[in-house]
Chains A and B, each alone.
Chain A
């Protein structure tokens, strides 16, 4: 398994500002992902964070709005840029661990999430 931490756990931000969310894992992982979850809703994949290269974004999400970095195998950041109230959501990172049995390779572990409110 993997222990994942996210910072900040929550924040209240003003419209037009940007927030960077950090995700730290305690072990080396193959894949890191960023999801968004609005209260009471499902999880929507924003992008795959690729180590040392540009993230791979899902339809409806763009790099200018959600720039992502992944400088090494255990750390990634997601920035929510030029925020509006529609960006109010929970942002979660998830990881796939390295080197486990096949079932481990198919298992994603989620961080505790960052609850963002934009005023």
Chain B
């Protein structure tokens, strides 16, 4: 079957670094995406990895290891506004269909 696993909750303090892990299982895999969703808002795209390695976008970085079926999202210099849910998702089927993980709720404290 197809599935993704990520922690349900993560807590951190302002200015810290946090890593949200995601492991996946699927027979067809095209890439791993990360989305951020604030309460009451729509999911917004953060990052995408099609190949192994690290992708950096400002304070956010994402990593993928296809051989380990594993990826992570790294958030640096945490700010209060980073408190949100973060979803990993993989592309399956070759036409951008996304399967989402259950989401990780990040709480950033002063």
Contact = CB atoms under 8 A, between A and B. Distances in A.
B98 interface: yes
A108 B42 contact: no
Interface string B25-37: 0000011010000
B42 A110 contact: yes
A111 B41 CA distance: 9
Contact of A31 (B42, B89, B95): B95
Contact of A42 (B33, B41, B87, B95): B87
Interface of A: 30-31, 33, 41-45, 48, 92, 94, 96, 103, 105-113
B42 A45 contact: no
Interface of B: 30-31, 33, 41-45, 48, 50, 87, 89, 91, 95-103
Q: Mostly helix, strand, loop or mixed at chain A's interface?
A: strand
Given A43-B43, A48-B97, A106 B103 contact: no
Contacts, number: 51
17 contacts: A42-B100, A42-B102, A43-B43, A43-B87, A43-B100, A45-B97, A106-B30, A106-B31, A106-B48, A106-B50, A106-B96, A107-B45, A107-B48, A110-B42, A110-B44, A112-B41, A112-B42
B42 A111 contact: yes
Contacts of A44: 100
A54 B32 CA distance: 28
